[in-house]
Every structure is written in structure tokens, then in C-alpha cells.
Amino acid sequence: MGDYNLLINGQMVAGDATMDVINPATEQTIVKAPRASKNQLDQAVAAAKAAFPTWSRTPIGERKKALIAMAEAIEKNASELARILTQEQGKPLADATGEVFGTAAFFKYFAMLDLPVKVIDDSPARRVEAHRKPLGVIGAIIPWNFPMILMAFKVPPALLAGNTIVVKPAPTTPLSSLKFGEIVKDILPAGVLNIITDANDLGGALTAHPDVRKISFTGSTATGRKVMAGAAETLKRITLELGGNDAGIVLDDVNPKETAPQLFQSAFQNNGQVCIAMKRLYVHESIYDQMCNELAALAEQAIVGDGLEQGTQIGPLQNKMQFEKVKEIIADAKKHGKVIAGGETTGKAGYFIKPTIVRDIADGTRLVDEEQFGPVLPVIKYSDPEDALARANASPYGLGGSIWSKNLDRAYDLATRMGSGTVWVNKHADLAPNIPFGGSGQSGLGAELGEDGLEEFTQLQVINIAR
């Protein structure tokens, strides 16, 4: 798969150590990736800090041109990036290709935005302006489920706003990020973009680094708490996009045969390894049996395999730790509910679990209450929509949720009372670069994407002038 190097101060450099990257479809090492030391992390932050004064004063039009050039470089190398992504992450090649082109689209979107001065007051007594200033060095910590697209939630808005950045991808999926760095390194001035890798041992140092002014983190709620604590000493800005236990509520007027494919896709996209995947499904008792049967049939028909094999619809879990966790949750679910599809591994090498549907299960069980982050969906029966809404809202998480009904007024009423950062009606997990995204409760702080997401990478400065 070629050589991979860190990007520090505009140069591709070897790591002070190496680490194995495993293909989750084969459990075999595909390459030894560079592993940065604490000293190399410090070098990357120092390079970003040194580059900040010039980059922050670079006209925004020039910064936009850089984002467009980066997007074009991604598209030009899409085939190679997608293949790398499939081998390190496991997702089907078609999905990986879509992620790569989506990454380019996010760069292009942010290149269309501006940070204009807003006039708050322009009276005879005073003129008050709101300016948006860059913060400085940004630390971006990327998870393993969508290594490319989630990087594009952070890098383009940070750079457009005039910040410099140090990116740290997940230890199990560093390769696509490193290849991205190699592809775009000559587009930007040295030090503006730096990419370092670790073995889950440098996150604390990056978060606590005194020269880093903001951390943008996507990952688990447990790690998000550590990021928040680490940032507290220097009062860093933080954006946290954390775990979710998204509920879908299906009302009694829904046609199960028509809706089941959408529900299945909402739960099993990327093998369920999506922060906003539907992770628990509440279905009215009048259509419960039919919906369970339809979902089970779709699960049985799904083609599970190596993402590089043609026809594969669902790949492996990304890493062994997650594989073992999901198996434990399934074992527990078998004690409290009825598995009607899947519930077992494929019996071959790789972290494969067949898509699993569990019915006759209730709140209070691990599968319903925890974030499984894998190919397992509990289907929970209810009789009163108000009760279903209360149970959906009882979770400490609040990332996303959805209401499904032919009656949009009924659905809208429930949606407005759902305790989630995003609520969809008759769809789920629909994201776009121009739509702000963020969680409530223990699903995170702040917003990403859209103009709101861009402003998260800025400092508000008010200029108040007497007349």
C-alpha cells in the first residue's frame, strides 16, 4: 500500500515509532503506519502556531481558493483514497467512494461561505460591529467510523476562518488522513495543516497543550468527558460531537412494507457504526409484528463481506474491541428478547456480525439503553405515542431522532417535543454541509456544519465606536 508519513510543517516525515494497521475484513496487518511521539506532536503544534499570523492575515478569498484546490485534489485521487479507506475501515468500496466525494463537497461548500462584519447598531450615538476573528491553533480529533468526512466537518471551516490546525485521526484508521495530507501538502503554506497519528496516547497532550486554542472532537461520550476536563485548564474552546442512542418512533398509520427499507438503512448504514444511526425503534402494537417480519427479511437478505468484494452491502466491524463489545450486547439481548434475524458471526476471518433484529425487548436492557454502535437493532412495542416519546426522551443522549407517520401534523407535534439536537420526519440521519448539526444532553456541545459550525472556529469581537 506504499509508504505513509506524518505531515509536520509542510514536510512528510517518518514517525518516531510505527504501529500496525489491521484490515478488519481479514484481521491481517496491511501496513505499518507512522506513530508520532510527544515531541512530534509538539513540533506540529509549534509549526501551526508559527504559521498562524500569516495565514490569519491571508485574504479570505485566497483561503477559499485553497479549499477549492484541496477539494479538487481529493477528487483527482478519489479512487486511491476510497480503496485505502475500505481496507482500513471495512466499509464497502462504493460507500468509501461516496465518503471521499462527500469530503470534497464539504470543502467546496465551506469555500462558498464568508465571515462578514455585522452591524449591530448604527445610530447617531454609536456604531457597533460584530467581527469574527480566528482563534489560533485548532486540534481536531477524528474517529474511525468516517475518517474522511468527519475530518471535513473540521478542517475546511477551521482553515477558512483563518486558523491553523493539527489533525489526529483514530489509531485504527490513520491511512486515509495521512494520504490526504500527502495529496494537499503543497496547496497550503507550511504549518497551516499538520497531521499526526498516535496509539491512543497523545489525545490528552493535544487537548491540554497550552498553544492549542480549540479542540474539535468527534467520538464517544466517555472520551468527550476527558477532552472537556483536559481543555479546562487553559479554558479552550471545545466542540464535542459525542455518542447517541437515536430513537425512531413509528406511528400506527405507517405501511411496514414501504417503510421497513428506510428504517433498515437508517440502522445499518456503515454497519451501524454511525453516531446518528437509528439505534432503537419504537413501533406501534398494531403494526409491530409485520414491521418485525419485514426488517428480519431485509436483514437475512443483506450481503455481508469484504468491502472490496463486489456486491458487499455490509462490511465488518472496524476493530476487534468494538467487535467483542457488540457480541456481548447481542448475548445479553438474547436473554431479554427474541432474535429473529442474525445474532451471530459469519464464522470466517474478519470482524463480521450478521445484521441482527431483536424483538420483544424492553427499555432497561443493554441493547436498548446503551449505544451498540454495530449491526443490531432492537424493535420495541408501544401502544401510546406519548409513552413512546417519554421513553425515547429518557435517554441521557440527545443526538438525533425520528418520527415516522403519514400524518405530518401528528409527526411534527411529536418531533418538536423530542429531546434531540436533530429530529427527522419520515427519514433519519440526513446530513448536509449547510445544515447545522449538534447534540443535546450527553451527546455533545456546540454545533458543526453550516454557518453555525463555521462560527464555532471564531472568536466574536465587538467594536463599539462613539459618535
Among the options 88, 99, 182, 275, which is catalytic? Answer: 275
Encode pLDDT of 243-298 as tens digits.
Answer: 999 999 999 999 999 999 999 999 999 999 999 999 999 999 999 999 999 999 99
Q: Does residue 241 have an active-site annotation? A: yes
pLDDT at 142 over 80: yes
Encode pLDDT of 357-378 as tens digits.
Answer: 999 999 999 999 999 999 999 9
Residue 340 domain flag = yes
Encode pLDDT of 108-118 as tens digits.
Answer: 999 999 999 99
**Domain region containing 205:** 6-242+443-466
Residue 437 domain flag = no
Please tell me the predicted confidence (pLDDT) of residue 2: 75
Residue 1 domain flag = no
Residue 69 domain flag = yes
- For residues 211 and 257, state if they share a domain: no
Residue 100 domain flag = yes
Residue 285: CA atoms inside 13 Å, Cβ hemisphere, count?
6
- For residues 414 and 458, state if they share a domain: no
The predicted model gives 396-417 an average pLDDT of 98
d(CA 422, CA 430): 10
Rounded (10°) CA dihedral 403, 406, 409, 414:
-20
Q: Does residue 292 have an active-site annotation? A: no
- For residues 213 and 235, state if they share a domain: yes
Q: Based on the structure, what is the number of domains in the chain?
A: 2
Residue 438 domain flag = no
For the chain, give the mean pLDDT. 98
Q: Yes or no: say if 420 and 246 are a contact pair by the CB < 8 Å rule.
A: yes
- For residues 295 and 209, state if they share a domain: no
- For residues 165 and 254, state if they share a domain: no
Residue 408 domain flag = yes
DSSP H or E stretch at residue 257 = helix 256-268
- For residues 269 and 363, state if they share a domain: yes
- From first CA to last CA, the distance across the chain in angstroms is 65
CATH code, 290: 3.40.309.10
Calculate what percentage of the chain has a pLDDT beyond 90: 99
- For residues 263 and 396, state if they share a domain: yes
Residue 134 domain flag = yes
- For residues 460 and 322, state if they share a domain: no
pTM over 0.95: yes
Please tell me the predicted confidence (pLDDT) of residue 298: 98
Among the options 241, 294, 448, 456, which is catalytic? Answer: 241
Encode pLDDT of 78-87 as tens digits.
Answer: 999 999 999 9
